[in-house]
Structure 1
């Protein structure tokens, strides 16, 4: 008896969803996160949008050069990765998937903690240079970005800061491990149009909730936006940015400019 083909088992819409999930998983998303994301998109009356293009470049490049501290290979991987296209395309299409593969290699024991830090530190230095080279936008809406106390995984939020600055936002980047009192001081002195916090790991959830509660108590009308892998665990008083950096930056900028 002949086995049915996928086209015989699923209608066109279901096949499109399956392809979208497969593309997102290949870009570094977990299968569960990809399925939830695609399902939420399907609730849009316009239907399921085209899936994000497949990962650009080599998503294994950073994990591969981490082994044995391959310094020339690391420099080549970073330079060639960022040369693949515009920053927004590179960060979602190569950098974040490559960092996800690096994290998976560390969890699997293929890469040591020292080797993972060796790569991450180099990527962070490169992003910091790009941030400083991106012209400031003093005439745009001001936004504070950073991490809560104890949180030091800056790569995602720093990449978002660059993308946001490139859309015309006056970005004030506070960095990692920022105490709650420092967040309140910055909000009071800089008077931002919005605050952005990243929640990259489960260990960051409680401290991020603390900042959200404190900032909301200080100014309940100030928008607080959260990103990162564990953003859904910040249940109250926030706007979730999703898991794609460039689209989130554009949506946020459009919303802020609409309020001016």
Structure 2
């Protein structure tokens, strides 16, 4: 079956894959709440593989003579059954084993199954974040080699980049600049955050690892984003933040600054006034950034 990479679909693709017309899909969504697409800030619908299965199930029930309202209720009820912990554990173990064995084909197949089984947020929270944390710990403890850790990191980074490119927010959407502070090289968490924000309709300027203070400040001054989101895993990296906040207070006064990462999670003394701590969980950080960005769009400032 033809499928869009990593289970992200547009309405025309859903219609082609299910045999349900675009007009009917919109009518079912409006009348019965099936399917339940995500929307970019520009109003474009995006569908997960789970939504496609929901449409197929509703179509199947309707073909059996079940009234549409009842078919929608039954399909939704069935879809709410959570993905079982054994399956999550299996997917995590399969992905870990494939990455540590340098088996890209098996890792790619498991990655595809993961995003067919869980939505974006759940896949990140329940599998990708803990898996990359475990591989990092194994590296530091000598149970995984540098080569294994680098292969796993590069695989996940490439897949996250592919996910990010599947969504193109409209030109007037709020802008978020994301960067690892100077000296910081661990970017997977920040990259996952960038993907989440793009799927939620925000425009992202992703700068990546080890961004020198002056380059970061210049980028923010030139682009005047709604939010600057920065990450630091070490105290040394975190100590770059106060100077950046101070400089941008005058040159980008409407840009809200959000910071996070292991250094700030472990040591509250590194927290900075005049900026917002995003917390240790990606969903909470994404919500904070969304709220700040949209507040500025609607006339508020940080």
Task: Please list the CA deviations of residues 5-44 of structure 1 after superposition, one character each: whole Å capped at 9, or x if unmatched.
Answer: xxxxxxxxxxxxxxxxxxxxxxxxxxxxxxxxxxxxxxxx
Q: Does residue 70 of structure 1 match 2:103? A: yes
Deviation (angstroms), 1:65:
3.1
Match status 1:140 vs 2:176: no
- Name which of structure 1's ranges 122-131 and 55-64 shifts more when overlaid on structure 2: 55-64
Q: What is aligned with 1:248?
A: 285
SS in 2 for 1:242: coil
Aligned counterpart, 1:27: none
Q: Deviation per CA, 1:31-74, whole angstroms, max 9, x where unpaired?
A: xxxxxxxxxxxxxxxxxxxxxx9797234444433434333343
Farther off after superposition, 80-89 or 69-78 = 69-78
1:214 & 1:201 partners in 2: Cα distance?
22
- Which residue of the other structure, out of 84, 92, 98, is the alignment partner of 2:131? 98
Structure 1 moving runs of 4+ over 6 Å: 53-56
8 Å contact 1:198–1:227 — kept in the other structure? yes
**Structure 1 residues 219 and 191: CA distance shift in structure 2, 3 A:** closer
Alpha-carbon displacement from aligned partner over 1:53-99 (angstroms, at most 9, x marks no partner): 97972344444334343333433343333333211121112110111
Aligned to 1:80: 113
Deviates more, 1:146-155 or 1:199-208: 199-208
Matched pairs, number: 208
Q: CA deviation at 1:132?
A: 1.4
3-state secondary structure, aligned to 1:173: strand
The TM-score normalised by the length of structure 1 is 0.71
Per the alignment, do residues 62 and 194 of structure 1 end up closer, same or farther by CA in structure 2, a change over 3 Å counting? same
Does residue 57 of structure 1 match 2:103?
A: no
Report the alpha carbon displacement of residue 221 of structure 1 after superposing the two structures with TM. 4.8
Change (3 A) 1:164 1:54: farther
The 3-state SS of whatever aligns with 1:57 is helix
RMSD of aligned C-alpha atoms?
2.5
For 1:249 and 1:54, the matched residues in 2 are separated by: 25
Alpha-carbon separation, structure 2, partners of 1:110 and 1:151: 23
Report the Cα distance in structure 2 between the residues aligned to 1:150 and 1:55, rounded to whole angstroms.
Answer: 39
Q: Gapped runs of 5+ residues in structure 1?
A: 1-52
Answer yes or no: is 1:154 the counterpart of 2:187. yes
Which residue is equivalent to 2:248?
A: 215
Structure 2 residue runs without a partner (length 5+): 1-83
Quote the offset at 1:101 in angstroms: 1.4
Q: Is the 8 A contact 2:157 2:188 kept in 1?
A: yes
Picking from 118, 123, 130, the partner of 2:151 is 118
